[in-house]
Structure 1
Amino acid sequence: IADELRSEGRKPYVIHLSPGYKPLSALGYVRAMGETLDQADAAGMNISNIVLCSGSAATHAGTLVGLRLAGSNIPVIGSCVRRTADLQAPRVAQVIGLLQDLLGCGDVVDTAEIDCRDNWFAGGYGKLDDSTREALEMAGRLEGIPVDPTYTAKSMAAMIGLGRAGAFEADTDVLWIHTGGLPGLFAYWRDIYPDVVKF
């Protein structure tokens, strides 16, 4: 697409997701964390953990760097959506390094802090299992939040599973970051239709 636009004399701005490029897509999450912490403080929230999808690693890396730059040590749990945890953690580390270089902020994140979980990986990218379906149904039925099977249902499944396992401190708030993906939900209607009709 970019080449086609260039041939028309246009100047497309391509944001690459591969770890060898500047992680421009992570910059929004760096900035968002300062705003998130300000809003949480104003609301009297005590955020003990953040749960999010970890795929390209931009969201995961940007969130960690943004929190540390804002002076917060809140742990970030990345629910793997594209690869297993042993492959995802080095990718997150690489993007963090590139992001820190881009920002010129030094090493604000210790790679030992990178927490990738593949318990809710569901067998691969775009695949569903019972935990994915349950998260999709619970989010829709109880909260009115649409989540998609590829990304957000897996991070919601992680939050549900970790909560049931007692992984979060009592009387604290867990922040789940909804990264979008709503259009992807429609591509899975055959897989989720039996669950949707229950609504």
Structure 2
Amino acid sequence: MNRRSFTLTAMALAAFGLAACNDKPAASSAAPAEAAAPVKKSAQEAYEAAQRAAGFSVGPVMAANTVYVFFDPACPHCAQLWANARPLHNQLKMVWIPLGWLRPSSGPQSATILAAEDPAAAMEENERLVLERKGGITANQGVSDEIKDKIKANTDLFNELGAESVPLIVYRHAQTGQYGMHSGAVDAATLRAMIGL
């Protein structure tokens, strides 16, 4: 492999690795050897768990297929997935499940989105501001404890799934019925193929 193709390959792999956000520090050689990795749930278990989470829907209420997306309002990859999925909103029901996972501001921003009169509009504003590198929406300090508890429950559920990055897309293929999970943003065509539309 020549130097130019090696550099291009390394850049492509680096870009691929940046398709999702995580809050885990890099592994350290000083870390205890006995620390156990979280047990990852199957895609079907994740799908069934996501159905019980608190989120908001976009797309047709009676759509034949539902996709669940665990997201953090501070994650630029989540914002990119939101933008990429817009063309599918008339064909697919997507339930967006907000978390308080990446930053201290994530929980209050998630609660603000979930408590909004129009959560999709609040999400649209947040994701636009994130992509513009303006930090997302201003958290509403008057959000009820009930909503805050829902965000905490979503975050706990996400951790129980053994997930390591957001966005986490949990789906059931429309044609085969096979369950799947995907970490990271994808474009509309990839999402369409992934879920069998």
Provide the TM-score with structure 2 as the length reference.
0.30
Provide the TM-score with structure 1 as the length reference.
0.30
| Between structures 1 and 2, the one with greater helix share | 1
